[in-house]
Amino acid sequence: MGISVMRSELVKPSEDTPQGPFWLSNLDLGVRSGYSPTIYLFRPNGKGFFSVDVLRTALAKALVPFYPLAGRLGTAPDGRLEIDCNAKGAVFVVAQSDAVLEDLEEGFSPASKAMRDLFVPPYPKEVGPGAPLLLLQVTLLRGGGVVLGTGMHHYALDGRSSFHFIQTWSSIARSGSIGAAIEAPFLDRSSLRARSPPVVLFDHSHEYLGPPTTVNNNNNNNNNNKAPTELAGAILRVSSAQASALRARTGGESLFRSLVSHIWRCACKARELPHDAKSRLYTVVDMRARLAPPLPGAFLGNAGARTSVTAKVGDLVAGPLSFGARRLRVATGKGDDYARSLVDYLETVMTSPGSGSGPGRELPDTDLRVISWMGMASHDADFGWGAPVLVAPAAMSYTWFVYSVGDGTGDVAVAVAMKEEDQLERFKELFFDDKEMAAWPDHACESVGEMKAF
């Protein structure tokens, strides 16, 4: 598919905004350095669909309360990374493509670097000081559909904050102002400062001291480096009826824990792991409501803490589905003491101020990463022409990485990325046909052959 850029500019806040340094916490600097690309697909909806002028005007207004996103990554005198609030603006690109929406819906792969290169603005060559924090591209498709591609610098915000920004931008585009139901971003990060002296009560080394790797953060269209190996990826749809049946199989555990237990089991089987091997599952827990005092839901920044839990493969694949869900509860049940310990731990292990301390890209073949966007406002992105028909990560650079995304209706999309196509096909087969899913209602099940993008 071809694509041509019609317009590329910097959109600045529509009003004067505070200038100067904006402090980044250890939770900000402990995440993966670089951008988190996301794709939104929209079906055409009448005349004037996705007016670029409306979007641009609304973006300038949204950047007033979210003014740090209009700045650049900077460096404090002590070398620690921070945000330079200078109102230079967000990158805003308008493009057109000969692609058709239906083809993207059915053939979308969350692990496709080519998809990111087409529909997300090119990343800057350097993702450190001087890098913009917000990249946006609106691509008009043949037949009237639209792709909104976003690249947000992970140091500036996490998934919940990203969706809050899109929710605010779309609300302004829809009505001309931020709706009363949408909170302004909460910018105070002082409660996330490390203690003096640091007090580390937990072992965080599994989650934050993985082997170093070289990450290619650049797009093909702005560098000549060899692209990383393309991963096999897919989006699997779980209906609300299937989700309810999964919860019943785990005795009423949360949907996230029930779904991840099934994913964990299928991943072990797809890789044909020996029953005496140990598997570690990594996830991220949103600590906003768990801190004492809690952070508001509208907190702008990173409030996630990586956690993990292990289990013997034989127990996961031969035991009841509730076993994995109960093990996951250990990882997701962390509170204020864990978050404070993590902030202090990162203070002690960062090799230089703001250097970050994330795990390596590759995990052992026994392990798995799962990130949840469930419960977030991922689909609350109606710019005035209807909600998106798909929201998904635009590029998943890690192997054995899974996102779960709720759409507000009870359905869930599971985005997966794996190293080998045959492992992915085996995983999909197990995901829908595993014997543990015999309890799924017949009318809710879909065969692998009928499976299509969500």
The pLDDT tens digits of the residues spanning 319-359 come to 999 999 999 999 999 999 999 999 999 999 875 544 444 44
Radius of gyration of the chain (CA): 21
- pLDDT higher than 90, residue 143: no
Known catalytic residues? 154, 382
User: What's the pLDDT band for 111 if we cut at 50, 70, 90?
Assistant: confident
pTM of the model: 0.89
Tell me, letter by letter, the H, E, C secondary structure of the chain: CCEEEEEEEEECCCCCCCCEEEECCHHHHCCCCCEEEEEEEECCCCCCCCCHHHHHHHHHHHCCCCHHHHCEEEECCCCCEEEEECCCCEEEEEEEEEEEHHHHHHHCCCCCHHHHHHHCCCCCCCCCCCCECEEEEEEEEECCCEEEEEEEECCCCCHHHHHHHHHHHHHHHHHCCCCCCCCCCECCCHHHCCCCCCCCCCCCHHHHCCCCCCCCCCCHHHCCCCCCCCCEEEEEEECHHHHHHHHHHCCCCCHHHHHHHHHHHHHHHHCCCCCCCEEEEEEEEECCCCCCCCCCCCECCCCEEEEEEEEEHHHHHHCCHHHHHHHHHHHHCCCHHHHHHHHHHHHHHCCCCCCCCCCCCCCCCCCEEEEECCCCCCCCCCCCCCCCCEEEECCCCCCCEEEEEECCCCCEEEEEEECCHHHHHHHHHHHHHCHHHHHCCHHHCCCHHHCCCC
Q: What is the pLDDT of residues 224-241, one digit of tens each?
A: 333 346 788 889 999 999
Taking only the tens place, the pLDDT of each residue in 29-81 is 999 889 999 999 999 987 778 899 999 999 999 999 999 999 999 999 999 99
424, two tokens = 């992915």
Q: Is the pLDDT of residue 183 over 80?
A: yes
pLDDT at 94: 97
Tokens of 4: 């041509």
Alpha-carbon gap, residue 14 to 64, rounded angstroms: 7
In terms of Cβ atoms closer than 10 Å to its own Cβ (0-12, 13-18, 19+), residue 352 is exposed
3-state SS string for 335-367: CHHHHHHHHHHHHHHCCCCCCCCCCCCCCCCCC
The chain-wide mean pLDDT, for the chain, equals: 86
| Complete edge-to-edge strand list for the sheet that includes strand 90-100 | 3-11, 90-100, 134-142, 146-153, 35-42, 390-393
- Condensed to tens digits (0 to 9), the pLDDT of residues 90-104 reads 999 999 999 999 888
Predicted local distance difference test score (pLDDT) of residue 216: 33
Q: Is the peptide bond before 197 cis (omega within 30 degrees of 0)?
A: yes
Q: How confident is the model at residue 437 (pLDDT cuts 50, 70, 90)?
A: low
pLDDT value of residue 112: 79
Mean pLDDT, residues 236-253 taken together: 91
- Residue ranges and CATH numbers for the domains of the chain are 3-213 (3.30.559.10), 232-375+398-450 (3.30.559.10)
Instruction: Kindly state the tokens that stand for 400.
Output: 């054995």
Q: Which pLDDT belongs to residue 176?
A: 86
